[in-house]
Structure 1
Amino acid sequence: MKSILVYGDSLTWGYDPAGPGRHAFHIRWPSVLEATLGAGVRVIAEGLNGRTTAYDDHTADCDRNGARLLPTLLHSHAPLDLVILMLGTNDLKAHMAGTAIAAQQGMRRLVQLIQHHAWQFDHDTPPVLIVAPPRIVETADPDFSAAYAGAVSQSAMLASLYADLADEVGAGFFDAGSVAQSSAADGIHLDADNTIAIGRGLAPMAQLMIGG
C-alpha cells in the first residue's frame, strides 16, 4: 500500500463557495486523486481552513501555521511515499504575509522540514510535490475582497515562483491553475467541477512520483 499525505488549506478541506459549506467527501480533490490512482494507494487529506505555509494568524481560533504542525503529522502518518503541499493562498491575505515571494519562502520551509525530518524506523524520506493553487480572481464578495486586497496580482506570480523553488530543492511541481479556476463567488475557492479537476489532473504526476 502506497501512502500519500496531502497538506493544504480550505482548497484541500473542500470549502464550497456556493454554500458556504463543505463539498461531499467524494468530490474533494484528495478523494478524487485516490479514486483515480486506484487500489493500492491511500491519500491522507490534511486540510485546514486558513492554513498558511509558515505564518501565524493571531486572529484565528486554532493554529494555522503550517510549519508548526507539519513535523507532527509526518510522524503520525509515516511511512509516506509522497507528500503533496498545496498552500500559499492564505499567505496572500492583506493582514498576513501579503506577497507571493513570502509564500515561496514559507513553502521552502515546509520542504526543508520534510527533507530534514527525523524519520523513525529507517523510513525513507518521501519525495515532495509542490502544487501552486489556482489563481485568485476578482470577486464582488466584500469580505473576501477586503481580506485579499492586492492578492490577485500576487497570486499570478505564485506558480512561477513555486516552479523555480521545485527545481532548486529537487521537488516535483504542478500548477493547479492549469486545470482549475477559482470561483468568482468569493475569488478563492473551488466549485465541484474544479476541485474534481485538480484531483484528476494531479494523478499522472503523483503516479510517476510514487512509482508502480
Structure 2
Amino acid sequence: MKTVLCYGDSLTWGYDAASLDRHPLEDRWPSVLGKALGGGVEIIAEGLNGRTTAFDDHLAGADRNGARMLPTILMTHAPIDLIVIMLGANDMKPWIHGNPVAAKQGIRRLIDIVRGHDYPFDWPAPQILIVAPPAVSRTENAEFKEMFAGGDDASQRLAALYSALADEAGCGFFDAGTVAKTTPLDGVHLDAENTRKIGAALAPLVRVMLEL
C-alpha cells in the first residue's frame, strides 16, 4: 500500500464558492486522484482554508502557517511515499505579502522540512510533487476582489517560479492552471468540474512517481 499526502488550502479542502459550503467528497481533487489510482493507494487529504506556504495569518481559529504545521502532519501520517503540495494562492493576499517570489521561497521551506524531518524508524522522506495552483482571476465579488487585490497578476507568475524550483530541488511539478480555472464567483476557488480536473490530471504523474 502506497500513501499519498495532499497538503493544501481551501482548494484541497473543497470550498464551494456557489454554496459557501464544501464540495461533496467525490468531487474534491484528492478523492478523484485516489479513485483514478485504485485500491493500492491511500490518499490523505490535508486541506485547510487560508493555509499559506510559510507565513502567519491570525484571522482564523487555526494555524494557517503551512511550514509550522507540516512537521506535525508528517509525523501524524508517516510513513508517506509522496506528498503533493498545492499552496501559494493565499500568499497572494496583500496582508500576507502578495509576492510570488516569497511564495516560491515558502515552497522551498516546505521542501526542506519534508527532507530534513526526523522520521521514526528510519523511514525515508517522501517524494515531493509541487503543484502550482490555478491563477487568481478577476471577480465582481467585492470582498474577494479586495482580499486578493493584485493577486490576479502576481499569481500568474507562480507556475514558472515553482517549475524552476522543482527542477532545482529534484521534485515533481504540475501546473494546475493548465487544466483548471478559478471561478469568477470569487476569483479564487474551484467549481466541482475544475477541482475534479486537477485530480484526474495528477493521476498519470503520481503513477510514474510511485512506480505503479
Q: TM exceeds 0.5?
A: yes
Do structure 1's residue 25 and structure 2's residue 3 form an aligned pair?
no
- Could you say which residue in structure 1 is the equivalent of 2:102? 102
Alpha-carbon distance between aligned partners in 1 of 2:78 and 2:173, rounded to the nearest angstrom: 22
- 1:27-70 deviations in whole A, cap 9, x for unaligned? 10000000000110011000000000000012222110000110
Alpha-carbon distance between aligned partners in 2 of 1:51 and 1:14, rounded to the nearest angstrom: 13
Alpha-carbon distance between aligned partners in 1 of 2:130 and 2:117, rounded to the nearest angstrom: 17
- Could you say which residue in structure 1 is the equivalent of 2:12? 12
Q: Which moved more, 1:198-207 or 1:54-63?
A: 54-63
CA displacement at 1:106 relative to structure 2 = 0.4
- Could you say which residue in structure 2 is the equivalent of 1:157? 157
Alpha-carbon distance between aligned partners in 1 of 2:29 and 2:17, rounded to the nearest angstrom: 15
- Could you say which residue in structure 2 is the equivalent of 1:49? 49
Give the aligned length.
212
Alpha-carbon distance between aligned partners in 2 of 1:116 and 1:204, rounded to the nearest angstrom: 27
Alpha-carbon distance between aligned partners in 1 of 2:16 and 2:58, rounded to the nearest angstrom: 25
- Could you say which residue in structure 2 is the equivalent of 1:115? 115
Give the letter aligned to residue 201 of structure 1: A
Q: Where does structure 1 differ by over 3 angstroms across 4 or more consecutive aligned residues?
A: none
- Which TM-score applies when normalising by structure 2? 0.99
- Could you say which residue in structure 2 is the equivalent of 1:191? 191
Q: Please list, as runs of the form range in 1=range in 2, the aligned pairs for 1:13-92 lying within 5 A after superposition.
A: 13-92=13-92
Alpha-carbon distance between aligned partners in 2 of 1:128 and 1:93, rounded to the nearest angstrom: 25
Alpha-carbon distance between aligned partners in 2 of 1:92 and 1:62, rounded to the nearest angstrom: 19
- Could you say which residue in structure 2 is the equivalent of 1:182? 182
Give the letter aligned to residue 162 of structure 2: Y
- 1:181-209 deviations in whole A, cap 9, x for unaligned? 00000000000100000000000111111
Alpha-carbon distance between aligned partners in 2 of 1:58 and 1:194, rounded to the nearest angstrom: 29
CA displacement at 1:97 relative to structure 2 = 1.5
1:60 partner SS: coil
Alpha-carbon distance between aligned partners in 1 of 2:122 and 2:76, rounded to the nearest angstrom: 15
- 1:149-183 deviations in whole A, cap 9, x for unaligned? 01111000000000011011110000000110000
Alpha-carbon distance between aligned partners in 1 of 2:134 and 2:90, rounded to the nearest angstrom: 12
Give the alignment's Cα RMSD to 1 decimal. 0.6
- Could you say which residue in structure 2 is the equivalent of 1:133? 133
1:157 partner SS: helix
1:130 partner SS: strand
Alpha-carbon distance between aligned partners in 2 of 1:29 and 1:171, rounded to the nearest angstrom: 20
- Could you say which residue in structure 2 is the equivalent of 1:146? 146
- Which TM-score applies when normalising by structure 1? 0.99
CA displacement at 1:23 relative to structure 2 = 0.1
1:180 partner SS: coil
Q: Which moved more, 1:119-128 or 1:198-207?
A: 119-128
Give the letter aligned to residue 208 of structure 2: L
